[in-house]
Structure 1
Amino acid sequence: MTRVLVVEDDPQLVRALVLNLQARHYGVDAAPDGATALRLAAARQPDVVLLDLGLPDMDGVDVIKGLRGWSRVPILVLSARQGSDEKVAALDAGADDYVTKPFSMNELLARLRAAVRRTGDTPAAGPAATLVETEDFTLDLLAKRAVRDGKDVRLTPTEWHLLEILVTSPGRLITQKHLLNEVWGVSQSSKTNYLRVYMAQLRRKLEKDPSHPRYLITEPGMGYRFEG
Structure 2
Amino acid sequence: MAEILIIEDDDVIGEFIGAILQKEKHEIRLAYSALEGLSTFRMWNFDLILLDLGLPDQDGMEVLKKIRETSQVPIIIISARDHEDNKVEALDLGADDYITKPFGTPELLARIRTALRHAASTPEAQNEVKKIINGDLCIDIEHHRVTKNGQLIHLTPNEYKIIQVLGENLGKVLTHTYLSQKVWGPYSNESQTLRVNMSNIRKKIETNPVEPEYILTEIGIGYRMLEK
Confirm or deny a common fold (TM above 0.5): yes
Instruction: Map Cα deviations across residues 99-157 of structure 1 (whole Å, 9 max, x no partner).
Output: 10111223212221222233235479432202012332322112111223433222111
What secondary structure is seen at the aligned counterpart in 2 of 1:69?
helix
Equivalent residue, structure 1, for 2:163: 163
The CA distance in 2 between the partners of 1:4 and 1:187, in whole Å, is: 35
Equivalent residue, structure 1, for 2:133: 133
Equivalent residue, structure 2, for 1:50: 50
Letter in 1 for 2:120: G
What secondary structure is seen at the aligned counterpart in 2 of 1:209?
coil
List aligned pairs for 1:184-195, cutoff 5 A: 184-185=184-185, 188-189=188-189, 191-195=190-194
Equivalent residue, structure 2, for 1:204: 203
CA contact (8 A) 1:136 1:207 kept: no
CA contact (8 A) 1:54 1:60 kept: yes
List aligned pairs for 1:95-110, cutoff 5 A: 95-110=95-110
The CA distance in 1 between the partners of 2:209 and 2:186, in whole Å, is: 29
CA contact (8 A) 1:7 1:37 kept: yes
List aligned pairs for 1:44-193, cutoff 5 A: 44-122=44-122, 125-185=125-185, 188-189=188-189, 191-193=190-192
Q: CA RMSD in A?
A: 2.0
In structure 1, list runs of 5 or more residues that go unmatched.
none
2:41 matches 1:41? yes
Moved more, 122-131 or 176-185: 122-131
Equivalent residue, structure 1, for 2:226: 227
Instruction: Map Cα deviations across residues 55-74 of structure 1 (whole Å, 9 max, x no partner).
Output: 12222122222222222211
CA contact (8 A) 2:139 2:167 kept: no
TM-score under structure 1 normalisation?
Answer: 0.90
TM-score under structure 2 normalisation?
Answer: 0.90
CA contact (8 A) 1:136 1:206 kept: no
The CA distance in 2 between the partners of 1:31 and 1:98, in whole Å, is: 19
2:28 matches 1:28? yes
Q: CA deviation at 1:198?
A: 0.7
